[in-house]
Chains A and B, each alone.
Chain A
Amino acid sequence: DGGITQSPKYLFRKEGQNVTLSCEQNLNHDAMYWYRQDPGQGLRLIYYSQIVNDFQKGDIAEGYSVSREKKESFPLTVTSAQKNPTAFYLCASSIVKGGHEQYFGPGTRLTVT
């Protein structure tokens, strides 16, 4: 079954703690993306990566970090520097050349108190 998996579905953390969200894909896609979704805000791009060991900041990268050590995996760390981390986080992937179709995972809802 090809697709994108995100774990866990729900995550709770105390303020001041770093937390890492997992994203794995078996679609053999080159590019992977992290979005943040808040009510009424649409999807905002945090980071994206088009190739292993390379990634670029999106529109709201402050307080987040990523790594891309394997093609299949693109974990996102929400650091204590992120001022308002409670949100729904979505991972997506796509081929790079010749198309823009992005396929999304089921999301992780992070609550920081």
Chain B
Amino acid sequence: QQQVKQSPQSLIVQKGGIPIINCAYENTAFDYFPWYQQFPGKGPALLIAIRPDVSEKKEGRFTISFNKSAKQFSLHIMDSQPGDSATYFCAAAGPQGGSEKLVFGKGTKLTVNP
């Protein structure tokens, strides 16, 4: 119940394409869904996050779509650029005995070709 399943494991797109990364969860108590971007050898950086009261959130070229009934959320990257090549992690958090633990997906390695 604590898992977050992320797909695909890897993704290759051409510059300007719209990569989509999907995540699914089971725990209906989750109330916070962030996405992190990680470049090789660096720590993950918070990219964008959503809460279940909205179905979509956009920040620049990055959009989260959230489907509460399906218990799924996804990241779309508009007009992707080679500089977006990185590993992306989805995560989820919610009331867990008072802690603020995040449960992470296993990551998607995105390559954007010039």
A residues with CB within 8 A of B? 4, 6, 31, 33, 40-45, 48, 50, 56, 58, 90, 92, 94, 96, 99-107, 109
Chain B residues touching A, range: 20 to 34
Binding site of A, secondary structure by majority: helix, strand, loop or mixed? strand
Measured CA separation A50–B100 after assembly (Å): 9
With known contacts A42-B106, A100-B32, A105–B43 Cβ distance under 8 A = yes
Q: Which of B13-21, B44-52, B68-76 contacts A (4 or more CB under 8 A)?
A: B44-52
Residues of A with C-beta under 8 A to B43: 4, 6, 90, 92, 104-107
Measured CA separation A96–B43 after assembly (Å): 21
B60 within 8 A of A: no
Residues of B with C-beta under 8 A to A42: 6, 89, 104-107
Q: Assess whether B42 is in contact with A107, with CB atoms less than 8 Å apart.
A: yes
Residues of B with C-beta under 8 A to A96: 100
